Structure 1
Amino acid sequence: MASRKNGSDSVVGALTISKEESSPRRARLANSIIFGILGAVFATWAVRIPAVSSALSLSEGDIGIALLGLATGSIIGLVASGILVSHYGGRHVIRGGLAVYSLTLVIIALADGLAMLVGILLVFGFGKGLIDVAANAQGVRIEQSYSGQIMGSFHALFSGGGLVGAGLGAVATSLDLSVQTHFMLVGASFLTIGVVASLWLFPKDPDTDTGPTVTLPSRKLIGFCAIGFCALFIEGVGNDWSAVFLETSAHASATIAALGFAAFSLTMMVGRFLADWIVDWVGPTQFIRLTAAVAATGVAVTLLAHPVLSLIGFGILGLGLAGIMPVALSLAGNFDPDSPTEPAIAAVSTAGYAGFAVGPVAIGLIAETTSLRTAFVPALGLAVLIVVFSGIVPTITRAPRDSETTA
């Protein structure tokens, strides 16, 4: 063992790491960093949307079209990542995705019009999709080395990364840094950190196909799919429109506008850390109903269009949305003891990403003909639909494995 480490590992020590050194604890730390970077880079773009929009003289409808390019690229990246992970392993795909994601962030500021911005965001979203599936595949493998569930912590750290990115964005705007300088500093820094962290990720398992299974949803899954669609549609309110709403509709300063995404990300992170405990306490169906009501309250407070109140509203919205999608995925994957888990989770995930793609565009188009405040109103109706669909989804009949939390 010693000779192996002193031999091959010493030659490529700067680029790789031996399987023996890829311990579950180190892999968990590395994957946590990757999730954090995934959220931080996205937040960096999100909080500077108003500045990019102003520089290119984009309307709210134009912003919706640009966000459609990002969502489309993300979906393409998700599909491609599933294929690439099964062939090359998650560690290599994460490295490639980091390069695409971070470097494309740097060139967003070079866009000279809507068409070019859509093209750049398509590639930016593609890189995000590559990392998304690969990091989740790593998370599944890492979790198998632990006695309990840990996937929630990865997703919470995505929100934590969003908080960091939003905070850096607020600092950048307060220092009057240009978008290009801001994006260059963030892109280069997180690319370096991510590549170094990837050294501790698990290498490809030659005996396991980690690619996702995609299938059309069965009738029993329709309710879960509807919940996923509605939840991620509403999430677009906080992810893509918080900064724009605060600056244009609530007349907040650019710094306060950047903090809207920070408030949303902070409460999303806290809510995801707490979700498993609350589900144990009240049950999954009641949890979805209660949190959907909280999300609706957040939208309502945001619609008051006052800088402070809207900032609080985005925080409430994040807290409400935090656990809905993870709990829906858990329910969908466990309700039928005679069916495999993966196709169910894939179906609900696909429906959710459809909502994530449609939401920002729909909000932009409605805002173009009315106002951004009016465009947020349908999110209230979707929150009500989540409550309705939570009452018709099947209950869990599959017995939980040892050391796992029953949902």
Structure 2
Amino acid sequence: MQAIAARRVVSAVFFMCGTFIGLWASRIPDVKAATGLSEGWFGVLLLVLALGAFAAFPIAGAFIDKKGPATVTKASAVATVVTFTLVGVSPSVALLAVALFLAGFAFGSLDVSMNGWGAEVETVLGRPVMSSFHGLFSLGAGAAAAAGGLAIKLELSVALHFCLWAVLSLPVLFWSLRQAWPPQTGPDEERGKAPLFAIPRGALLLAGLIALIAALGEAAVTDWAALYQITDLGYSEAIAPTAFTVFSIAMVIMRLAGDRVIARYGPVPVARVSGFVAFVGGLLLVSGWNIGVVWAGCFIMGIGYAVLFPLAMSRAAADRHVSKGQALASVATLGYGAFLFGPPILGFIGQVFTLGASFAVVAFLTLVIPFLAGSLKVDP
């Protein structure tokens, strides 16, 4: 019964964590406008957020080893709510940069620890549940982005919007803090002792590149899709967050169905088709023919990207030549690195050319996935 209760709590934390991605994505244009920065300099602010998260990974890993992922998840969830509130109320670029670093640190710690807690719950239950956790993360992101569009229509300030969202998150925080979960023990390689920044090699490196491309695509839509529609395509600020919403909905649908699809067709064919589907969606987004086509492109991209990162992580966990902890850490390093550092790079491309050019780069990278997909097959 404790594992079932913990699964519900972890599900709620994943959902809440996703909402802060959607919250931030929906108000990026407003935050950028308030700072008066160009795409390139605003990309530097995104880089500050990324640096905060990346700095958290090894520290969170050390505390997870000492205290267990459940304890770190609870502390990180509280810190995430507080620091994202600070992002919303920061009155200057300098204070915003500090708040973004702290928010990135808290979010990065939460991301690592809640996945660790989810893995422990999955082990105790004896059946796969991680895909549903990630589906709820995407659902939370999409719901918050849709709420962001409503907040813009109601002309809520960024500060008020972020503060209200923090209040709405309090029930999840209290619920998670009350959930008892003893640290799980197991073989040494299962205790997360492997270096977080390990670089994969051989077939595992190719699987890591799949994770990198998938994470870059998701990050691009998260951070730049709304601004791309406003600045490049001239669409209304109020409807721009819808693109991220439909992307997230597609991610949820595919992630919830992903286990059955992979079980039926196998990881290699699914990855190859997913890469091509993501490419088609990217082309539709870049075309900018009309708002319906743009949103359709985002939906198709979500379908294509949804299972690629989970497939790469499953391949890492099943590797027969590297310990599970080191394999997962190494692939996660590439994936999280792309998610965190990719948007600032795309921002600089957008400044030199256009944001449409940034999305074109993302789209064409997916054509590499069919050639990498063979790495997802585990040698006997």
Q: Which residue of 2 aligns with 1:99?
A: 78
**1:362 to 2:345 alignment:** yes
Q: Residue type of the partner of 2:259?
A: D
**1:280 to 2:241 alignment:** no
Q: Which moved more, 1:66-75 or 1:198-207?
A: 198-207
| SS class of match (2:205) | helix
Whether the 8 Å CA contact 1:98–1:191 is kept in 2: the answer is no
State how far apart, in whole Å, the 2-side matches of 1:113 and 1:298 are.
Answer: 37
Question: For the structure 1 residues 43 and 212, does the alpha-carbon distance in structure 2 shift closer, same or farther, using more than 3 Å as the test?
Answer: farther
Q: Residue type of the partner of 2:377?
A: T
Whether the 8 Å CA contact 1:33–1:194 is kept in 2: the answer is no
State how far apart, in whole Å, the 2-side matches of 1:387 and 1:233 are.
Answer: 17
Tell me the CA shift for residue 92 of structure 1: 2.5
Q: Which residue of 2 aligns with 1:135?
A: 114
Q: Residue type of the partner of 2:294?
A: S
Q: Which residue of 1 aligns with 2:252?
A: 269
Q: Which residue of 2 aligns with 1:256?
A: 239
* Count of residues in correspondence between the two structures: 375
Tell me the CA shift for residue 43 of structure 1: 0.9
Q: Which residue of 1 aligns with 2:379?
A: 397
Structure 1 portions without partners, runs of 5+: 1-21, 399-407
Q: Which moved more, 1:191-200 or 1:155-164?
A: 191-200
Whether the 8 Å CA contact 1:85–1:93 is kept in 2: the answer is yes
State how far apart, in whole Å, the 2-side matches of 1:325 and 1:196 are.
Answer: 29
1:332 is matched with which residue: 300, 316, 330? Answer: 316
Q: What percent of counterpart residues are identical?
A: 29
2:58 is matched with which residue: 56, 68, 79? Answer: 79
Whether the 8 Å CA contact 1:90–1:203 is kept in 2: the answer is no
1:33-72 paired onto structure 2 within 5 Å: 33-72=12-51
Encode CA deviations 1:80-99: one digit per residue, 9 max, x unaligned. 11111121222322222122
Tell me the CA shift for residue 210 of structure 1: 4.2
State how far apart, in whole Å, the 2-side matches of 1:367 and 1:203 are.
Answer: 47
Q: Residue type of the partner of 1:126?
A: F
Tell me the CA shift for residue 196 of structure 1: 2.0
State how far apart, in whole Å, the 2-side matches of 1:166 and 1:75 are.
Answer: 24
| SS class of match (2:127) | coil
| SS class of match (1:257) | coil
Question: For the structure 1 residues 285 and 241, does the alpha-carbon distance in structure 2 shift closer, same or farther, using more than 3 Å as the test?
Answer: same
State how far apart, in whole Å, the 1-side matches of 2:323 and 2:359 are.
Answer: 37
State how far apart, in whole Å, the 1-side matches of 2:231 and 2:303 are.
Answer: 24
State how far apart, in whole Å, the 2-side matches of 1:294 and 1:63 are.
Answer: 31
Q: Which residue of 1 aligns with 2:363?
A: 380
Whether the 8 Å CA contact 1:138–1:202 is kept in 2: the answer is no
Whether the 8 Å CA contact 2:319–2:327 is kept in 1: the answer is no
Q: Residue type of the partner of 1:342?
A: G
Q: Which residue of 2 aligns with 1:294?
A: 277
Q: Which moved more, 1:258-267 or 1:35-44?
A: 258-267
Q: Residue type of the partner of 1:221?
A: L
Q: Residue type of the partner of 2:301?
A: L
Tell me the CA shift for residue 112 of structure 1: 4.1
Q: Residue type of the partner of 2:306?
A: A
Question: For the structure 1 residues 249 and 320, does the alpha-carbon distance in structure 2 shift closer, same or farther, using more than 3 Å as the test?
Answer: same
The two structures have a TM-score, normalised by structure 2, of: 0.93
State how far apart, in whole Å, the 2-side matches of 1:119 and 1:177 are.
Answer: 23
Q: Residue type of the partner of 2:18?
A: G
Whether the 8 Å CA contact 2:316–2:328 is kept in 1: the answer is yes
Q: Residue type of the partner of 1:374?
A: A
Tell me the CA shift for residue 282 of structure 1: 1.7
Whether the 8 Å CA contact 1:74–1:126 is kept in 2: the answer is yes
Whether the 8 Å CA contact 1:30–1:198 is kept in 2: the answer is no
Encode CA deviations 1:101-155: one digit per residue, 9 max, x unaligned. 1111112133344443232111111111111111111111111122321111111
**1:350 to 2:329 alignment:** no
State how far apart, in whole Å, the 2-side matches of 1:74 and 1:212 are.
Answer: 20
Whether the 8 Å CA contact 1:162–1:262 is kept in 2: the answer is yes
Larger Rg over CA atoms: 1
State how far apart, in whole Å, the 1-side matches of 2:362 and 2:21 are.
Answer: 22
State how far apart, in whole Å, the 1-side matches of 2:21 and 2:165 are.
Answer: 11
Encode CA deviations 1:177-232: one digit per residue, 9 max, x unaligned. 11100000001221442232332251334778743522332223221121111211
Tell me the CA shift for residue 23 of structure 1: 0.7
Whether the 8 Å CA contact 2:10–2:114 is kept in 1: the answer is yes
Cα root mean square deviation, aligned: 1.9
State how far apart, in whole Å, the 2-side matches of 1:106 and 1:361 are.
Answer: 22
**1:226 to 2:231 alignment:** no
Q: Which moved more, 1:351-360 or 1:172-181?
A: 351-360
Q: Which residue of 2 aligns with 1:313?
A: 297
Q: Which residue of 2 aligns with 1:123?
A: 102
Q: Which residue of 2 aligns with 1:167?
A: 146
Q: Which residue of 2 aligns with 1:90?
A: 69
